[in-house]
Amino acid sequence: MHGATFLLIVNFSIGLSFAAAFVAFAGRSDVRLGYWCAGGFVAAATTVAIEAFAPYIPWERLTSFLSFTSFLLALTLIAAGLWRHYRPDGRLSGIGALFLLSILSHQAVIYDLPRDSILHAFAYQGSSVLMAAIAAAAPLASRRRRPIDRAVGCVLALCSVQFLFKAGLATAITTGQSVHTYIVSTYAHLSQTIGAILSLLLGLSLLCLVIVEAMGKAAAAAQIDALSGALTRKGFLEEGRNLLKAATPSAPCCFVMADLDHFKSVNDRFGHAAGDEVIQHFGGLLTRLASGQGVCGRLGGEEFAVLLERCDEGKARLFPQALMSAMAQHEFRLLPAGSRVTASFGAVVCHGGGTLDEAMRVADNALYAAKRDGRDCCRFHEIETASATDPQALVASR
pLDDT, tens only, 94-130? 999 999 999 999 999 998 898 878 998 899 999 999 9
pLDDT above 50 for 325: yes
CATH class of domain segment(s) 3-221:
mainly alpha
pLDDT at 387: 35
pLDDT above 70 for 386: no
What's the angle, vertex CA 21, arms to CA 19 and CA 26, rounded to 5? 95
Beta strands in the chain (DSSP E): 253-260, 294-300, 303-308, 343-350, 378-384, 393-395
Burial class (CB in 10 A: 0-12, 13-18, 19+), 36: buried
pLDDT above 50 for 388: no
Stretch among 81-95, 306-320, 382-396 having the lowest mean pLDDT: 382-396
CATH for the stretch 233-395: 3.30.70.270
Rg (CA), the chain: 27
The pLDDT-based confidence of 163 (bands split at 50, 70, 90) is: very high
- Amino acid identity at 180: H
Decide: helix, strand or coil at residue 344: strand
pLDDT above 90 for 395: no
Count Cα atoms within 13 angstroms, Cβ side, for 274: 19
Domain boundary assignment for the chain: 3-221, 233-395
Distance CA 171, CA 167 (A): 7
pLDDT at 394: 35
pTM for the predicted model, two decimal places = 0.64
Mean of the per-residue pLDDT values for the chain? 86
Mean pLDDT over residues 54-76, rounded? 89
Distant-in-sequence contacts of 260-263, Cβ < 8 A, 24+ apart: 260/302, 260/341, 260/342, 260/343, 261/341, 261/342, 261/343, 261/344, 261/371, 261/375, 261/376, 262/375, 263/301, 263/302, 263/341
The pLDDT-based confidence of 51 (bands split at 50, 70, 90) is: confident
